[in-house]
Amino acid sequence: MLIKRKREWEIPERLATPEALFLNRRALIGGAAGLAAGSLLGGRTALAAPGDASPYPAVRNPAYTLDRPVTPERFSGDYNNFYEFGTSKTVLPAASALKTQPWTLKIDGLVEKPFEIGVDDLIRTVGLEERLYRHRCVEAWSMAVPWTGFPLAKLVALAKPSSGAKYIRFETFMDKAMAPGQRAFYYPWPYTEGLTLAEAGNDLAFVVTGVYGKPLPNQFGAPIRIAVPWKYGFKSAKSLVKVSFTADRPKTFWEGLQASEYGFWANVNPAVPHPRWSQATERVLGTDQRVPTLIYNGYGEQVAGLYKGLEGERLFV
């Protein structure tokens, strides 16, 4: 007889968020219904209104579901890539030096009028929602997390890019005193990443300010990062201080380091190996499982159309 034993990671999604917060959220869900349908700049909700003590936890947008259990925070929060704080996965202690209050995001480049906005003001302006996303690192491990944030398209709309803007460039803070990893001179600091404006406008592209129903812990890239779930994890730059709109394709941190291994597009594809390892499967954080990797990390239906006519490019490296 087959006996199904529940594994440690097979938890209901509600346990991904601390229970008190979850119950609180359930109570609020009715009042905040309609968040997902909020207009582009009017998506403010009762949970994130001025005067509210905290916009967390935000209402979960049910349109974003998972094919696997949420990774418990004790695994995802203690296995991080954040080279500013070292090259090991245990950056949590070093990242506690990151000072995230106050924090200002600069919007510049080809926009109607460059501006700066505090992260708290930005959150109050655009509102927050929670989404369950898969995350696939180029190193062939993966996790599934409840991010809190807002569509990148809302930030693009606030920025009002001019017609010449074709790309969006993300830049991480630079502070060698706070981030010892930035003293390593052979890395092209600061960490930068980029997307096309079309990619940035895809509904999956998400600006993240929280996870597991609370503000981002430092090691996840506090206080503001992006999540681009159909691409390898290095595209999801952390602790952003600047978002620039450009006519030319931005050079990224990893391209600057090793362009033959880490390109601009970096879409997940199990059939295209990294030059030094296979991308066919992935190790699921917090489990003893390896599962097949999916093209575009399982988000092909939403994003494959972005790459029509670009077949000549190195879309998967």
- Which residue ranges make up the site for ligand MTE (CB under 6 A)? 80-84, 137, 172, 191, 220-221, 233-234, 236-239
The answer to whether 190 and 172 are in contact (CB under 8 A) is yes
Q: What is the nearest approach in angstroms of ligand MTE to the Cβ of residue 33?
A: 29
Pairing state between β 214-215 and 225-227: unpaired
Q: Output the residue with the shortest Cβ distance to ligand MTE.
A: 233
* Rounded distance between C-alpha atoms, residue 243 and residue 154, angstroms: 13
Q: What phi and psi, each to the nearest 5 degrees, are found at residue 139? A: -80, 5
Single-letter code of the amino acid located at 300: G
Q: What is the nearest approach in angstroms of ligand MTE to the Cβ of residue 28?
A: 26
Q: Cα dihedral angle (112, 148, 302, 272), rounded to 10 degrees?
A: 100
Closest CA to 214 of 142, 130, 125, 99: 130
* Rounded distance between C-alpha atoms, residue 204 and residue 227, angstroms: 8
Q: What is the nearest approach in angstroms of ligand MTE to the Cβ of residue 225?
A: 7
Q: What is the nearest approach in angstroms of ligand MTE to the Cβ of residue 76?
A: 6
* Rounded distance between C-alpha atoms, residue 199 and residue 16, angstroms: 29
Helix, strand, or coil (residue 119): helix
CB-wise, 150 or 170, nearer to ligand MTE? 170
Q: What is the nearest approach in angstroms of ligand MTE to the Cβ of residue 46?
A: 28
Residue 316 DSSP one-character state: T
Q: What is the nearest approach in angstroms of ligand MTE to the Cβ of residue 220?
A: 4
* Rounded distance between C-alpha atoms, residue 100 and residue 119, angstroms: 10
CB-wise, 22 or 220, nearer to ligand MTE? 220
CB-wise, 64 or 253, nearer to ligand MTE? 253
The answer to whether 291 and 284 are in contact (CB under 8 A) is yes
CB-wise, 32 or 119, nearer to ligand MTE? 119
Q: What is the nearest approach in angstroms of ligand MTE to the Cβ of residue 181?
A: 8
CB-wise, 32 or 95, nearer to ligand MTE? 95
CB-wise, 44 or 225, nearer to ligand MTE? 225
- Paired residues of 129 in beta bridges: 149
Q: How far is CA 162 from CA 38, 40, 156, 157, in A?
A: 25, 18, 11, 11
Q: What is the nearest approach in angstroms of ligand MTE to the Cβ of residue 2?
A: 34
What the block records as the tokens of 251 is 């050079």
CB-wise, 234 or 307, nearer to ligand MTE? 234
State CA 92 to chain mean position distance: 18
CB-wise, 82 or 316, nearer to ligand MTE? 82
